[in-house]
Chain A
Amino acid sequence: QKEVEQNSGPLSVPEGAIASLNCTYSDRGSQSFFWYRQYSGKSPELIMSIYSNGDKEDGRFTAQLNKASQYVSLLIRDSQPSDSATYLCAVRADNYGQNFVFGPGTRLSVLP
């Protein structure tokens, strides 16, 4: 049973702070990793993908991957109230297959 785990939160951070979201996965053979943001009542939207160990930066977002530890994280710098949402971690077993596993999501609340 492939699993993706996240702290359900809520994670509360003050505006302007760094929010750190964590995700662990059980399938050591996983190849692709994704972070989705989901606002209440909306469908998820893809914000970051990462495939190699290390950091990947996109604007205020940084994804970090450590395959040896089976750990992927998302950092949000200069957090804004508009970042308040649920963040879903998704893991794909290989780059050709369609087998995604989603984590339960972490609720982030950025306090003004």
Chain B
Amino acid sequence: GAVVSQHPSWVICKSGTSVKIECRSLDFQATTMFWYRQFPKQSLMLMATSNEGSKATYEQGVEKDKFLINHASLTLSTLTVTSAHPEDSSFYICSAPPGWGEGYTFGSGTRLTVV
């Protein structure tokens, strides 16, 4: 099945700095990747959909200038949290689109803590 590799698994950064999270498809080419955010004891919230070679599609309420998404190749999508603040501390998860009738394959997630 599809394998998605996500790095880093955890990161601590100072308020005001930027953090980049990478999501790679290891055994398939992904023209689309999905980025989710999950706060403690809450469900997954879709933030945006990255599209290879074109602009990402952001969900309502998600600041596109703060959460920069780049999908420069068929195997790599990145999410950069710019000027991070403590309220951005969360669990960020990428996922690959499913094949016919299949479920999502998720990356291992990135725990971001902004201090």
Interface, chain A (partner B; CB < 8 A): 32, 34, 36, 41-46, 49, 51, 88, 90, 92, 95-96, 98, 100, 102-105
Q: Give A104 to B38 CA distance when docked, in angstroms.
A: 11
Q: Give A45 to B98 CA distance when docked, in angstroms.
A: 13
Q: Give A46 to B42 CA distance when docked, in angstroms.
A: 18
Known contacts A44-B44, A88-B44; decide if A51 and B101 are in contact (CB<8 Å): yes
User: Which of A43, A49, A104 interacts with B42 by CB under 8 Å?
Assistant: A104
Whether A45 lies near B43 (C-beta < 8 A) is: no
Q: Give A44 to B91 CA distance when docked, in angstroms.
A: 12
Q: Is B90 an interface residue (CB 8 A)?
A: no
Whether B98 lies near A98 (C-beta < 8 A) is: yes
User: Which of B34, B102, B103, B109 interacts with A36 by CB under 8 Å?
Assistant: B103
Q: Nearest Cβ in chain B — how far from A90, in angstroms? A: 7
We find that the number of chain B residues with CB closer than 8 angstroms to chain A is: 21
Q: Give A105 to B47 CA distance when docked, in angstroms.
A: 18
> 1/0 per position for B98-115, CB-CB distance to A under 8 A?
101111111111010000
User: Which of B43, B91, B97, B104 interacts with A103 by CB under 8 Å?
Assistant: B43
Q: Nearest Cβ in chain A — how far from B92, in angstroms? A: 10
Q: Give A88 to B97 CA distance when docked, in angstroms.
A: 17
List chain A residues, Cβ under 8 A from B91.
41
Interface, chain B (partner A; CB < 8 A): 6, 32, 34, 42-44, 91, 93, 97-98, 100-109, 111
Query: Which residue of B has the minimal Cβ distance to A105?
Result: B43
Whether B101 lies near A32 (C-beta < 8 A) is: yes
Whether B103 lies near A49 (C-beta < 8 A) is: yes
30 CB contacts below 8 A, A to B, read: A32-B101, A32-B103, A34-B103, A34-B104, A36-B103, A41-B109, A41-B111, A42-B108, A43-B106, A43-B107, A43-B108, A43-B109, A44-B93, A44-B104, A44-B106, A46-B105, A49-B101, A49-B103, A88-B44, A90-B103, A90-B104, A95-B101, A96-B100, A98-B32, A98-B34, A98-B97, A102-B43, A102-B44, A103-B43, A104-B42
Q: Nearest Cβ in chain B — how far from A31, in angstroms? A: 8
